[in-house]
Amino acid sequence: MDFNQITVMKMANAHMRYQAQRQNVLSQNIANIDTPGYQAKDLTPLDFGKLAQVEARRLEMRTTSPVHQAGVGQFKGPYRDEKIRNPYEVTPVKNSVSLEQQMGNINNVSMNYQLSTTLYRKMNQMFSAALGTR
């Protein structure tokens, strides 16, 4: 059995990929901290609700009662660069990278990545214990 096809494992994996991509974008911001005119970037937040809706569509849900909820709309995808709309400060050369903000974001990425890897590891251990393959 491929554990990576289970929804919670796929979501944890997607979250780790998102955090890795966000780390790359934030490191580019720091690398361009003195570049005139550079605008800081970040990724759009990963929406687990929409990600879960995508996975739910695979199940071919049916309404068998009038009290059941209807299906959901289309999902466009979580990974997209976007400009930071309200930078903390802008230098005289029109650079909007704030080192303090970027370092805080990098710390956030590190904690979120650790959370995802812990969830992934614990779910893997739970499935292994349930199947008796420890």
Residues 78-123 pLDDT 10s:
566 665 656 667 777 778 888 888 899 999 999 999 999 998 899 8
Question: Between these two residues, 57 and 32, which has the higher pLDDT value?
Answer: 32
Q: Helix, strand, coil % (nearest 5) of the chain?
A: 55, 5, 45
pTM for the whole structure? 0.68
Task: Provide the pLDDT for residue 115.
Answer: 92
Q: Residue 126 to residues 11, 74, 121, 122, 134: CA-CA distances in angstroms?
A: 16, 32, 9, 6, 9
Question: Between these two residues, 112 and 68, which has the higher pLDDT value?
Answer: 112
Task: Provide the pLDDT for residue 56.
Answer: 67
